[in-house]
Amino acid sequence: MTGRAALSRLAADAKVPPRVLPVIVLAQLAGTSPWFAVNAVMADLQREHGYSAADLGTLTSAVQLGFIVGTLVFALLGIADRFSARRVFLASALAGAVATALAVPMADSFGGLWACRAVGGFFLAGIYPVGMKIAAQWYSRGLGAALGLLVAALVLGSASAHGLRALGADVGWTWVFYGVAALSAGAGIALIRLVPEPTSPKGLSGPVRLSRRSLAAMVTERRLRASVLGYFGHMWELYTFWVLVPLIVAMHWSGTAASWVSFTVIAVGAVGSAGGGWLALRWGSAQVAGAQLATSMLCCLIAPWAMSWPTPLFIAWLLVWGVTVVGDSPQFSTLTARNAPPAVQGSVLTLSNCIGFAISIVSIQLLVPLAQPHTLAALLPWLGIGPALGLLALRPLWRE
């Protein structure tokens, strides 16, 4: 089935206007584009403002921390349930655009730049999870396929800053920040204008209530524990790999070519996300998540040899890693939603998301400061710790 046919069938099954899902997916892509703006221009910031390699990890962690705080605040206050999710998306997209644009005049102050990135991360919590809620309001039977496409959009959004840097190689790094800010604002405007308010929302009817019962279920429910721990292992690897991609690529390319390769390595993860959802219909989510997690772990472990491979083999290794490092993400979300007790499903998803992003901060802060070019070959295998532990945790679901 072609991508266009799949979208048409999904829209027809859900009896919604055909444009709704494409608009949500594109808005998700554009709305999340500020996520890695700093990573795409870090070399420029180092030259102009003297930032260190360790600062790259700290600035990326600022976005992750802001996202965690934003997710908790949005969940505790039930913002996307008390107000129109479309309007929450619009307000978050516009606020995130302002925070991203303000990072340009604040770039000469590390504290100011960190604050802008943290605020931008906070409002990403009103884009990524809220975009999924909007999809859930429109789709019921097709939600699994929609989820795979939305995660693919997140991947492309995360890669887009590298693409803008390559397109504007002769313009200067500020183009990237202003460009992704414009994309974010455009995403909110497009969604509010082109996606109508659903007449009978299918999402949660009330605010997510975070409770100790949710944490207890994540520990005591065997199947839920397996999916959540597998997701935590995945999060140890994912964002740290994305942060390190430009440094890995710099071993073979520089300048505009490096930006294009970095964009491609991250963006190709959309194939793993969307394709993994299609394969899960035939093999099951646990099998697809496990296969992708095992493959990305292998990519970590062979890094000491792959770093010195000829360029064709080197790029093939990176592309396989880029596909599988994120392709398991929607399947972990599916498994967690499926295995959580219905009464605390929303709370479990929110808490597992927050803990997973906290783990990514720990990984980034531990590993990125060590990522000087001559140590990358020795450093990258340590990313495999997360997938290895995740595979062990996922075993009960494999057997079923």
pLDDT digits (tens, 9 = 90+) for 302-340: 999 999 999 999 999 999 999 999 988 888 888 887 888
Mean pLDDT (the chain, rounded): 85
Cβ neighbours, 10 Å, residue 12 = 11
Annotate 215-247 with DSSP letters as a single string.
Answer: HHHHHH-HHHHHHHHHHHHHHHHHHHHHHHHHH
More confident residue, 131 or 114: 114
3-state class percentages of the chain: helix first, strand second, coil last, to nearest 5: 80, 0, 20
Q: Do 62 and 55 contact (CB within 8 A), yes or no?
A: no
DSSP per-residue string spanning 7-62? HHHHHHHHTS-TTHHHHHHHHHHHHTGGGGHHHHHHHHHHHHH---HHHHHHHHHH
Q: What is the pTM of this model?
A: 0.84
d(CA 47, CA 106): 16
Query: Which structural domains are found in the chain, ordered by start?
Result: 15-208 (1.20.1250.20), 210-400 (1.20.1250.20)
The pLDDT of 12-18, averaged and rounded, is 62
pLDDT of 204 higher than 50: no
pLDDT of 10 higher than 60: no
CB atoms within 10 A of CB 399: 7
pLDDT in tens, 369-397: 888 766 888 999 999 999 999 999 998 88
In the three-class reduction of DSSP (H, G, I as helix; E, B as strand; rest coil), residue 317 is classed as helix
Most trustworthy range by pLDDT among 2-6, 37-41, 129-133: 37-41
Cα separation, 64 vs 114, in Å, equals 11
